[in-house]
Amino acid sequence: MSSNNYSPEHKARELLHSFGILKPPINPYNICSRLNIKISHAYFDKANAFFTLKNGVKEIILNHSINYSLREKFTIAHEIGHYWLNHGQITACPTSDIMNYESNEKIELEADRFAAELLMPSFTFAEDVDKLPLSIRSFKILAKKYKTSLTSTAIKFIENTKFPGAIFLSSNGKISLKFKSNKFNYTLRHNDELNPHSYAYDYFIRNIDPPNAPVRVCSDAWLDDENAFHSFTEHSFPYRNFNQVLTLIQHN
């Protein structure tokens, strides 16, 4: 089911403006109460969350297994998206789709884009990105300001930055997400297996902590270009509790 001609980002900004919410951090719980959307929790196997609209009653049902507050916040913003984008009476969101951004299902992808814009609206976020260099530290500064996860902040940052660079998220030893900025003219690694030349590989496979700053790395660690003679830097940041690593790749 298609929402309408406006982009999910446009619709998210429209919702914020209609409530006069113009400054971060955005509180999606507050938006739910203003939209009369109930939030409840339940146990279920395959889904992460539901949005239901029944007899005029709007409800978001979250899986009890969501045990991370920033993830719950993003999930609620995603479910508000299903409502605000008119995705239907009931939507069930599979676990793998939330914060995946690469879902094949159109409405799931739309809800993710809506959620990212709702929590990091471009009318403030783009200005903030403009003032900052492309770095893990900048991701942390804005994640703190917007009260968003480092990964979702990094993705939104890379979409908005004027600097060339790319980010990868590796989960349990495999690349699970990758994004590059407009100015980054190289082909990101196609293979999901980590390359042994990368520091992220060392973290997962050899149990060695990555350096706490950008360090030079072979281009084949993260890129597929055979002609990528330029040297690159890798800054990998481990999320120890989740067995994940966020990696930023830049020109040296």
Name the residue with the smallest CB distance to Zn ion: 93
Place of tokens 């700053």: 213
Residue 33 CB, shortest distance to Zn ion, in Å, is 21
Least distance from C-beta 152 to Zn ion, angstroms? 15
Give 127-189 as a 3 state SS string.
HHHHCCCCCHHHHHHHHHHHCCCHHHHHHHHHHHCCCCCEEEEEECCEEEEEEECCCCCCCEC
Segment lying near Zn ion (by CB under 5 A), choices 3-11, 15-23, 101-109, 140-148: 101-109
Q: Cα(1)–Cα(193) distance, rounded to whole angstroms?
A: 35
Residue 93 is a binding residue for Zn ion (CB under 5 A) = yes
Binding mask 180-219 toward Zn ion (x if CB under 5 A, else -) reads: ----------------------------------------
Question: Is the separation of the CB atoms in 188 and 156 below 8 Å?
Answer: no
> Is 112 within 8 Å of 98 (Cβ atoms)?
yes
In whole angstroms, give the CA distance from residue 140 to residue 235: 13
| Binds Zn ion (CB under 5 A): choice among 60, 66, 76, 111 | 111
Under rule CB under 5 A, residue 120 binds Zn ion: no
Residue count at the site for Zn ion (CB under 5 A)? 3
Output the smallest distance, CB 93 to Zn ion, in A: 3
Q: How far is the CB of 97 from Zn ion (least distance, A)?
A: 6
Tell me which residues touch Zn ion (CB under 5 A): 93, 108, 111
